[in-house]
Amino acid sequence: MKRALAETVNQSSLKKPGLWPRLRDQWDLQLLGLPGIILILIFSYLPMYGLIMSFQEYRMGDFPGMSQWVGLKQFQYLLKDPSLFTAVRNTLVISVLKLTIGFVCPIIFAVFLNEIHRPQVKKTVQTVSYLPHFISWTVCAMLMMDFLSVDNGAFNEFLVKAHIVDAPIPFFQNSKYFWGMALFTDIWKELGWNSIIYISAMAGVDAEMYEAADIDGATRVQKIWYITVKAIKPTIILLFIMSVGGILNTNFDQIMMLTKNMGNAMLKETADVIDTYIYRYGLGQFRVSFATAAGLVKAVINFALLLGANKIADVAGENALF
């Protein structure tokens, strides 16, 4: 018995030579992977190491990460800053809007597209709906501001002419509209693009399911709900988990463009988010360690939320991320 075991071990070690010979045999394969791995270590992992700056007091001229240690002082300052509260609130409101309304819109759009049975129409609408995804936020914000402008903006002209409102609405001048504008412009830009993944999931549905439902006398709405939506449910859950992990992220480009680089003071009350907060303190006022601490808190909370959402999905018996 023992000998047999020893033999198999011997055999397997015969099949699998030592590490060095194997490495020598695939040196070219190793070389292919190496540049990418090195770049990831530099550009993704060194910044993680740089997070230690949040436990230090950075002064001009210090080599990053070599400043004096101050423990949790930066985090204490952070909690005492009243404008942090505003930034967190704005971030959460915008994110939750995007995570609910902004998340559901592409699903509805995809379901509706799936119901169009004329390929030409479907293709045209799809192609047009992808367009804004490929355009920079600079251009998109500019187009939206023009479209929704108070003077001669097409949308306001329409509203006034249709007697829906008496005077044009200052969408981008009044802070009370900003959350809505952040949501609307995001949907406008990414609706079509975000629907692709659902459309491809729907393409996998067996056509016989719909035929069987027809025989059973199901209505079109019933077929959508019980067949189409059910088929894309795993995709929906997976994307939702991933979105939860980004709840404290906002689109920096978008916010900066819609507020003209935070130059529009009237919007700051509702437009200042965690990312702009970190930018302003870190690179504007050069309170580097303080801003790094804010960034660390954000990253940790995001990661915890992702794990939490994943756990819930796992417990609920749904497809989890890991």
Does position 283 bind another protein by CB under 8 A? yes
211-240 footprint of another protein as x/- string (CB under 8 A): x--x--xxxxx--x----------x--x--
Instruction: Please name the helix (run of DSSP H) or strand (run of DSSP E) that holds residue 69, with its range, or none.
Output: strand 68-69
What does the block give as tokens for 121? 């129409």
Residue 196 CB, shortest distance to another protein, in Å, is 5
Residues sharing a CB contact under 8 Å with residue 127, sequence separation 6 or more, in sequence order: none
Does position 102 bind another protein by CB under 8 A? no
Residues 61-80 that bind another protein (CB under 8 A): 63-64
Angle at 245 between CA 112 and CA 273, to 5 degrees: 95
Q: Are 150 and 168 in contact (CB under 8 A)?
A: yes
Residue 316 CB, shortest distance to another protein, in Å, is 18
Alpha-carbon dihedral sign for residues 252, 198, 230, 118 = positive
Does position 150 bind another protein by CB under 8 A? no
Does position 130 bind another protein by CB under 8 A? yes
In the complex with another protein, the residue whose CB is nearer, 96 or 301, is 301
Does position 106 bind another protein by CB under 8 A? no
Q: Are 314 and 320 in contact (CB under 8 A)?
A: yes
What does the block give as tokens for 238? 């997976």
- From 182, 186, 197, select the one nearest 133 (Cα to Cα): 186
Residue 10 CB, shortest distance to another protein, in Å, is 21
Q: Are 73 and 293 in contact (CB under 8 A)?
A: no
Residue 320 CB, shortest distance to another protein, in Å, is 10
* Chain Cα centroid distance, residue 118: 33
Residues 1-60 that bind another protein (CB under 8 A): 19, 22-23, 26, 28-30, 32-33, 35-37, 39-51, 53
Identify residue 156 by its one-letter amino acid code.
N
Residues that bind another protein (rule: CB under 8 A) add up to a total of 98
Does position 94 bind another protein by CB under 8 A? no
Does position 168 bind another protein by CB under 8 A? no
In the complex with another protein, the residue whose CB is nearer, 99 or 197, is 197
In the complex with another protein, the residue whose CB is nearer, 6 or 41, is 41
- From 241, 233, 240, select the one nearest 204 (Cα to Cα): 233
Residues 235-274 that bind another protein (CB under 8 A): 235, 238, 245, 252-253, 256-257, 260, 263
